[in-house]
């Protein structure tokens, strides 16, 4: 359907080509963005199986509803919103789960410090309100601009800014409570 191969098209062109019937266009979009969407889903659900299901649901939904893309945001923002909504749908369907499993403090001495920090941050993220966790995941962990995170979550930019600020404060307090003021991953 297109004169150039899908790998040479930008995201908007790929989505348009998909809507026009190009059988390879959506596959290229998937290849470009699956890892980033997986990371968003994993941080949102905190469960690899739920994340995998949500990514699958989200991409199937995007495939089927590609003609609903209005073009007033980037394609990646549109995909983020679909994936986050798929995650939230999956999470609503299950009973509340327990937090991340505790790990033996003695084992921490043998683990690489960045892994320990990552686990501690994941555990702390699980304890903050969903809105703050989603805002921090999109802005701080995925690097989305505030305006895009606002579009993904369907809230005002100011809401994203305040959720991020409150979330960062809550995370810092949780990490300080766990490790004291000398925590290597905390603020000084």
Identify the CATH number of the domain in which residue 55 sits: 1.10.1740.10
Asked whether the beta carbons of 6 and 30 are under 8 A apart, the reply is no
What's the CA gap between 94 and 119, in Å, rounded? 23
Task: Specify the CATH number for the domain of residue 172.
Answer: 1.10.10.10
Q: Which of 51, 69, 92 is the last residue of a domain?
A: 92
Ramachandran bin of 20, using left for φ above 0, alpha for ψ from -120 to 50, beta for the remaining angles: alpha
- 116 domain-assigned: yes
**Which stretch of DSSP H or E encloses residue 38?**
helix 25-45
Do 87 and 121 lie in one domain? The reply is no
**Which stretch of DSSP H or E encloses residue 21?**
none
Eight-state DSSP code of residue 46: S
Measured CA to CA in angstroms, residue 177 lies from 119, 138, 183 at distances of 15, 25, 10
- 76 domain-assigned: yes
Do 109 and 56 lie in one domain? The reply is no
pLDDT higher at 113 or 112 = 113
Q: Is the dihedral of CA 90, 92, 95, 100 positive or negative?
A: positive
Determine what percent of the chain is predicted with pLDDT higher than 70.
82
- 186 domain-assigned: no
- 97 domain-assigned: no
Please name which of 138, 105, 133 lies closest in space to residue 37, comparing C-alpha atoms.
Answer: 138
Do 80 and 119 lie in one domain? The reply is no
Total structural domains in the chain?
A: 2
Do 81 and 109 lie in one domain? The reply is no
* Chain segment 133-178, per-residue pLDDT in tens: 989 888 888 888 898 888 888 899 999 999 999 999 998 888 887 7
- 109 domain-assigned: yes
Measured CA to CA in angstroms, residue 180 lies from 6, 11, 153, 176, 183 at distances of 52, 46, 33, 4, 6
pTM above 0.85, yes or no: no
pLDDT band (50, 70, 90) for residue 110: low
Query: Tell me, what's the pLDDT at 108?
Result: 44
Task: Supply the range of the domain harboring residue 78.
Answer: 6-92
Query: Tell me, what's the pLDDT at 102?
Result: 46
């Amino acid at each position: 359907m297109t004169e150039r191969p899908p790998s040479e098209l930008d995201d908007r062109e790929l989505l348009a080509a998909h809507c026009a019937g190009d059988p390879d266009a959506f596959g290229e979009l998937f290849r470009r963005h699956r890892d980033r969407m997986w990371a968003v889903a994993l941080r949102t659900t905190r469960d690899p199986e739920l994340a995998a299901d949500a990514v699958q649901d989200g991409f199937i939904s995007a495939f089927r509803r590609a003609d609903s893309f209005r073009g007033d945001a980037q394609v990646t923002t549109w995909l983020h919103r679909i994936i986050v909504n798929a995650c939230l749908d999956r999470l609503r369907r299950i009973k509340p789960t327990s937090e991340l499993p505790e790990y033996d403090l003695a084992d921490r001495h043998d683990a690489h410090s960045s892994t320990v920090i990552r686990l501690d941050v994941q555990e702390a993220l699980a304890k903050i309100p969903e809105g703050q966790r989603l805002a921090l995941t999109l802005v701080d962990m995925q690097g989305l601009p505030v305006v895009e995170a606002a579009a993904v979550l369907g809230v005002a930019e100011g809401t994203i800014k305040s959720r991020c600020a409150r979330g960062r404060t809550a995370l810092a307090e949780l990490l300080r409570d766990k490790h004291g003021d000398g925590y290597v991953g905390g603020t000084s």
